[in-house]
């Protein structure tokens, strides 16, 4: 089949995650086999604006399937709001000019929600052809069953919970494991279920600390030697959910490091530490906190993510050869499908209260921090 594109550019944007190299490889090998030139754009949209580009050949993407990170580098810059030496500027025109000067017929963007929006903005501003692949450990990109990077991060978080089980039971402790997920709780919910967490707290379900404490006390009365709590970093209490000031100033409330007017550094209490303190005060239990942080983003991708990235990348190559642009490659069941980018950009996929995963957690006796999920049952542990 004759390609409608002679050259593509590919970039990775937003936070890094396992699988980016596998996806780059999938796209590049697919289009190179069709005689299409590939240009790698370094450090996301910033590299596009600064015209930092390198040619990619088959030898450049061989052997990277199993590697973590991204050979192209990544950044969180937005072309329409880019920090240029301390001044925020709209660099959309420069980005579009660089696409044209490098004879790029299609820009392939690998990233999460922000990347979907930035790709759509470039298309709308300059009529350029774009294709995106859904990447994020948060799994919150709309219109797709799953994003690449999620399975790898969930595996890491689950392994951490597995390890916490042994030390928790040895010392009769409550251990809180803080897991990434600022706006959604897919990662904490998946790892919490897979790791057998006794309590799972999510951004989608504001928690009542007394419900959590009561659940922990019931476990003690049933001679349970330990409890594991999986907390998404964006989990909020009912008090916070009902506080208008918290809703409008959430970033300030969640900020871990702040500066005083005198220039003094203040480190605020983390979400997990606050919950630990509240549990200790209310129940007198010994509580420890583990925050996984960026460990969840690192390392090699799981076989599931390697397969997914390869499927997504080769599907992108297929669509490029057909001249079908301005779409995101979504996963629907066993299929990879093209979804109009306009339906994806700006939409966050949250956990609905009737989601099967929540029902599964509930059925196995997991406390979700709210009485609407509480009933008499036998704890599975």
Catalytic residue set: 138
Residue keyed to tokens 């595996």 = 155
Nearest partner of 168 among 293, 289, 295, 292, judged by Cα: 289
The answer for residues whose C-beta is within 8 angstroms of residue 259's C-beta and 6 or more apart is 265, 266
Residue keyed to tokens 């959309």 = 92
79-108: burial string, b at 16+ Cβ within 10 Å, e else: bbebeeeeeeeebbebbbebbeeeebbbbb
Q: Kindly state the tokens that stand for 51.
A: 């015209």
Q: Are 108 and 325 in contact (CB under 8 A)?
A: no
Residue keyed to tokens 């948060």 = 138
Q: Kindly state the tokens that stand for 64.
A: 């990277």
Nearest partner of 240 among 280, 207, 273, judged by Cα: 207
Q: Kindly state the tokens that stand for 333.
A: 């069941």
Q: Are 297 and 154 in contact (CB under 8 A)?
A: no
The answer for residues whose C-beta is within 8 angstroms of residue 159's C-beta and 6 or more apart is none
Nearest partner of 293 among 160, 147, 198, 149, judged by Cα: 160
Q: Are 355 and 341 in contact (CB under 8 A)?
A: no
Q: Are 94 and 45 in contact (CB under 8 A)?
A: no
Strand 265-267, strand 257-259: pairing:
antiparallel
For residues 194 and 357, give the distance between their C-alpha atoms in angstroms, rounded to a whole number. 11
Q: Kindly state the tokens that stand for 181.
A: 């997920």
Which residues pair with residue 41 across a beta bridge?
Answer: 53
């Amino acid at each position: 089949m004759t390609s409608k594109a002679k050259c593509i550019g590919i970039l990775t944007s937003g936070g890094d995650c396992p699988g980016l190299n596998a996806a780059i490889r999938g796209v590049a090998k697919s289009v190179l086999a069709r005689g299409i030139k590939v240009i790698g754009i370094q450090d996301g949209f910033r590299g596009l604006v600064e015209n930092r580009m390198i040619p990619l050949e088959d030898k450049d993407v061989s052997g990277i399937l199993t590697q973590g990170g991204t050979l192209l580098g990544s950044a969180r810059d937005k072309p329409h709001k880019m920090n240029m030496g301390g001044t925020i500027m709209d660099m959309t025109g420069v980005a579009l000019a660089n696409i044209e000067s490098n004879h790029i017929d299609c820009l392939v963007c690998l990233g999460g929600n922000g990347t979907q929006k930035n790709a759509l903005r470039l298309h709308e501003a300059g009529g350029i052809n774009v294709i995106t692949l859904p990447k994020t450990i948060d799994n919150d990109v709309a219109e797709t069953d799953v994003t690449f990077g999620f399975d790898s991060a969930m595996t890491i978080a689950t392994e951490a919970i597995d390890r916490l089980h042994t030390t928790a039971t040895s010392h009769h402790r409550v251990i809180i494991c803080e897991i990434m997920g600022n706006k959604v709780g897919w990662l904490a919910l998946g790892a919490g279920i897979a790791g057998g967490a006794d309590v799972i707290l999510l951004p989608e379900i504001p928690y009542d600390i007394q419900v959590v404490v009561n659940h922990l006390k019931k476990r003690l009365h049933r001679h349970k030697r330990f409890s594991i709590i999986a907390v998404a970093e964006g989990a909020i209490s009912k008090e916070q959910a009902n506080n208008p000031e918290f809703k409008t100033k959430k970033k300030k409330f969640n900020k871990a490091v702040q500066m005083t007017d005198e220039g003094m550094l203040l480190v605020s209490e983390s979400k997990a530490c606050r919950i630990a303190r509240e549990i200790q005060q209310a129940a007198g239990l010994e509580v420890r906190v583990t925050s996984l942080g960026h460990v969840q983003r690192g390392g090699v991708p799981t076989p599931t993510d390697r397969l997914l990235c390869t499927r997504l990348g080769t599907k992108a190559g297929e669509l490029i050869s057909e001249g079908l642009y301005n779409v995101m490659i979504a996963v629907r069941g066993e299929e990879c499908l093209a979804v109009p980018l306009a339906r994806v950009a700006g939409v966050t996929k949250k956990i609905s209260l009737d989601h099967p995963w929540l029902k599964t957690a509930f059925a196995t006796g997991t406390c979700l921090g709210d009485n609407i999920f509480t009933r008499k049952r036998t704890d599975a542990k």
